[in-house]
Amino acid sequence: MLVSMAVVLAWAGWIGWREWLEWRAVREMRAAVEANEPARFLDAIEQVDELGVAEAAADEIAPLGQHPDPRVRMYAVMVRTVLGPRGPAEAKELIDLFDDPDEDIDVRCTAAPCLVLFGEQAREAVPTLRKALMDINDPRFDSAVHAFLYLGDDVTGPMPQLPHHPSRFTIDQPLPNATREEMADFLVLEADTTGWKNVVIYGVPVRRRSR
């Protein structure tokens, strides 16, 4: 009897400890978004994924999409894309965000690499991306070009003929079965331009992270 009771108490203790770890991971995910620090953000993504609380974390982050700091909003968009569902409704939200003239430009540009993770679900975004990449003075030009190249011809159709010929350089496409950690790393590298420098490849202005 005492042995059985000890087992029950130990199991209850383990369940309580597990729940506390999950709660802490979700709270840290929110804190990482609010801090908008890439390394902390990637660690938090890995933690919620390992503990199986990705959806709970995505729900926790959702209100931060209305945060007054645009960098917090940017990271909130990335979290919802990596941890939440990626269906037609979510793709439509990102298309609307990319086109929203009242939103901060960095947040708008973040929608493009996020759409890359939707694969074929991003087909509806092609006209919007095409419009942005046809105007080199559009501040969304870089992100639209990269999204077109990452999505590939099967989704976007051929790259339009542009004066700066961005199709002359290639980009490794994300693996279709990429882990959440790999997706998050891709989005941070594509969207968080703090510390980046402008360079030119084949006459096309693109950004690469400063080392």
* pLDDT by position in tens, the chain (length 211): 544 544 444 444 545 767 888 899 999 999 999 999 898 999 999 999 999 999 999 999 999 999 999 999 999 999 999 999 999 999 999 999 999 999 999 999 999 999 999 998 999 999 999 999 888 889 999 899 889 888 888 888 888 877 554 444 455 565 556 888 888 988 888 887 664 444 343 344 444 443 3
Residues 131 and 193 in one domain: yes
Residue that is written with structure tokens 């009771």 in the block:
5
Question: In the prediction, which pLDDT does 51 show?
Answer: 93
Residue 30 CB partners (closer than 8 Å, separation 6+): 57, 60, 61, 64
Burial annotation 64-102 (CB, 10 A radius, 16+ → b, else e): bbebeebbbbbbbbbbbbbbbebeeebbebbbebbeeee
Q: Dihedral angle at the C-alpha atoms of 182, 185, 191, 193, nearest 10 degrees? A: -160
Burial grade of 117 (CB within 10 A; 0-12, 13-18, 19 or more): buried
* Domain closes at, from 57, 79, 101: 79
Residues 60 and 121 in one domain: no
Encoded amino acid at 179, one letter: T
Residues 105 and 162 in one domain: yes
Residues 43 and 89 in one domain: no
174: which 2 tokens?
């994300």
Residues 127 and 54 in one domain: no
**How far is 188 from 193, CA to CA, in rounded Å?**
8
Residues 71 and 102 in one domain: no
Residues 111 and 196 in one domain: yes
Residues 106 and 148 in one domain: yes
CA-nearest of 105, 127, 103 to 115 is 127
Domain limits for position 199: 85-211
Residues 144 and 204 in one domain: yes
Residues 152 and 69 in one domain: no
Question: Is 63:79 a contact under the CB 8 Å cutoff?
Answer: no
Q: Using alpha carbons only, how large is the chain's radius of gyration in Å?
A: 20
Question: In the prediction, which pLDDT does 163 show?
Answer: 57
pTM check: above 0.85:
no
List phi, psi (to 5°) of 122.
Answer: -90, 5
Residues 134 and 194 in one domain: yes
* Domain closes at, from 15, 48, 79: 79
Domain count, the chain: 2
* Domain closes at, from 23, 53, 79: 79
Question: In the prediction, which pLDDT does 7 show?
Answer: 44
Residues 75 and 89 in one domain: no
Residue that is written with structure tokens 């890359």 in the block:
116
